[in-house]
A and B are shown apart, each in its own frame.
Chain A
Amino acid sequence: MNNPSILIYTLVMAGVTYLLRAAPILIFQKKIENPFIQSFLFYVPYAVLAAMTFPAILTSTRCWPSAVAGLVTALTLGWRGKGLLTVALAACAAVYVVELILL
């Protein structure tokens, strides 16, 4: 993974993000009233996070049983409303323990 390409990726991400934030402030002055677009924008973050997590999480670790352990841990704690860092670290711990046993 070479540095220039990470720089370019960063510039693309930052550029698109900034345009989304700045363009409406600088160009439009009216509010979106369309209920379909409002609802669509409300659902997008959840849909995108779900699509990014599955099935990718299953191949993110060094073996699939550890990935399943991480997934189950995250689902259980996330369902109970635990904080982001707690859930993330607990999932990592589950992966670590399973890999310690299997690898």
Chain B
Amino acid sequence: MTSSTPDIIDHLVGIIPGSPLDAIRAARQQARDNAQASYLALFETTETENVSLVERFAVACFVAGLHGQDKELAFYASKLEAMAPGLPAVIAAEVALGRAHGPAGHYPDGPLSVENTVGATYAAGARDKLGARLAAALEHAHMLVIRPRDADAAALKALLDAGWSTTGIVTLSQLVSFLAFQLRVIHGLRALSRNLAA
């Protein structure tokens, strides 16, 4: 892992050294360092046998887009464009297909069934351009982002059938789930930056 990559959350929120938010993040330095280490483990790894870097950044663009976080989408898209020219535009069209509100989904049959909500489903559009593996990954990512409680073993079977290994599925799951965290920290700190105590 490199140490030359600037802290991604600081960068995207616009936190500058010596600012109040810099001090807030420094008060939880281990969380700050390990959120960054998580980013590096997922996006600057050399172990790409199970999930390629193009797949990682393509899924990141899709997930940031589903969250409606355009600045973060642009960040991941710029990295993807450098390694797969034209793919960010394809992903942008998938985001337009997949945008929805969450969390939704169903509970195990029983008293909680009254809380079931039917979430928007998504089927990859440009399957020819995405390929079977990436199309399956986007469909899984959509479920995790929008309908997390609809997740089931059949969804993992669909990934296996599309050529994903068990270890690849673990990495993909971590990547989407990490982004659900990272995007919310960025969203939250950006809101806090506008509302700091006088």
Determine if chain A interacts with chain B: no
